[in-house]
Amino acid sequence: MAEALIWILLVGLLAGLGDAEAQQTTLQPLVGRVFVHTLDRETVLRRPEHVDVPPTTPVTYHAHLQGHPDLPRWLRYTQRSPHQPGFLYGAPTPEDRGRQVIEVTAYNRDSFDTTRQTLVLLIGDPEGPLLPYQAEFLVCSHDVEEVLPSTPASRFLTALGGLWELGELQLLNITSALDRGGRVPLPIEGRKEGVYIKVGSASPFSTCLKMVASPDSHARCAQGQPPLLSCYDTLAPHFRVDWCNVSLVDKSVPEPADEVPTPGDGILEHDPFFCPPTEATARDFLTDALVTLLVPLLVALLLTLGLAYVMCCRREGRLKRDLATSDIQMVHHCTIRGNTEELRQMASSREVPRPLSTLPMFNVRTGERLPPQVDSAQVPLILDQH
């Protein structure tokens, strides 16, 4: 019976492992370009054919790099609530080239079913011209998950084209303002966390963008005045951009390489102000050792002798105590002591007669004791009543 039960458990476990086989999806992120992958319940949860996933099914996700407890440093995960899709987004760096495997586990909060999905990321270099001109904008009217879908992102690029007319614009990175040190907004309608959107182009910046990012514009922002915006804000009203937080980066001019320090021979140059001694003179440390040991011992010995003299040689004695005590107090003390000794002697002898009050049938008024033959029920309590 036990062997049959174990066999049934093993078969069920193997069947469960077979059902939990992870789905595999291959993606190709590009270095320096934003990567967004949507985790929705329709593609992650496996249902039988012709069975749709109810839109009210709450689903949460957990993603991590294969063999590691967390995601790689360039990849982030966000999900506003279990009833909304999750997003994996980020921009890989040149150090992240190669193959990375992301394991995603979906949890159905209604049925407690779990489904695994494997994302194989083949990170490569982008094709086409370089994008040396990069601008970053802080959009205060949106949260990060509201910009990650393709429709809002393309709408932002189209609206930005009115300020940056030349060239084709591409998204380079999207970052939540909370990840950049922003504060969590109050739970008031219309308040958003904010999102940083980084855009790149092969064409130089427009005059309008250069004026917005100029030092004069930043000085006006520091004084609480509106920035210098010489052109029409084509991003409004769909995107509310904080023009005081616009940063422009020009990578068309290569930065000078840092000078590599040349290793020397390890010998310092001659310095006339520093003349180290060439020889050390011999020194006897016996005197220092004796002083260090004997002085504390001598002090401890003197303290011990002083304490012994105060405790043993300065006692007052009984004679001085008796002379300093008054005669009345001494007489009182001696009387109490004598009475105490007498009571102790009487208690030790026990030869005194018993008190009359302890004898049977004792009459308190007359002192008479009735014979035991008399019926005690006929004896009045008070003899004067006869």
Helix (H, G, I), strand (E, B) or coil at 198: strand
CA distances (Å), origin 254, targets 174, 236, 257, 258: 25, 35, 9, 12
Mean pLDDT across 361-382: 55
Percent of the chain with pLDDT over 90: 31
Nearest to 168 by CA among 139, 207, 213, 129: 129
Strand partners, 197: 137, 174
For residue 328, pLDDT beyond 70? yes
For residue 188, pLDDT beyond 90? no
Q: What is the DSSP letter of 249?
A: E
Mean pLDDT across 268-280: 73
pLDDT single digits (tens) 120-172: 999 999 988 888 899 999 999 899 999 999 899 999 988 888 888 766 889 99
Question: Comparing 247 with 279, which gets the higher pLDDT?
Answer: 247
Interacting residues of 24 by C-beta distance below 8 A, sequence separation 6+: 117, 118, 120
Question: Comparing 64 with 54, which gets the higher pLDDT?
Answer: 64
What is the predicted pLDDT for the residue at 61?
Answer: 93
pLDDT grade for 363, boundaries at 50, 70 and 90: low
Of 131-135, 301-305, 330-334, the poorest mean pLDDT is in: 330-334
What is the predicted pLDDT for the residue at 24?
Answer: 87
Look-up: residue for tokens 């209604």? 110
Instruction: Please state, rounded to an integer, the average pLDDT across all residues of the chain.
Output: 81
Question: Comparing 14 with 310, which gets the higher pLDDT?
Answer: 310
Of 20-24, 218-222, 325-329, the poorest mean pLDDT is in: 20-24
Cα gap 172→92, rounded to integer Å: 10
The CATH class that applies to domain 21-127 reads mainly beta
What is the predicted pLDDT for the residue at 53?
Answer: 65
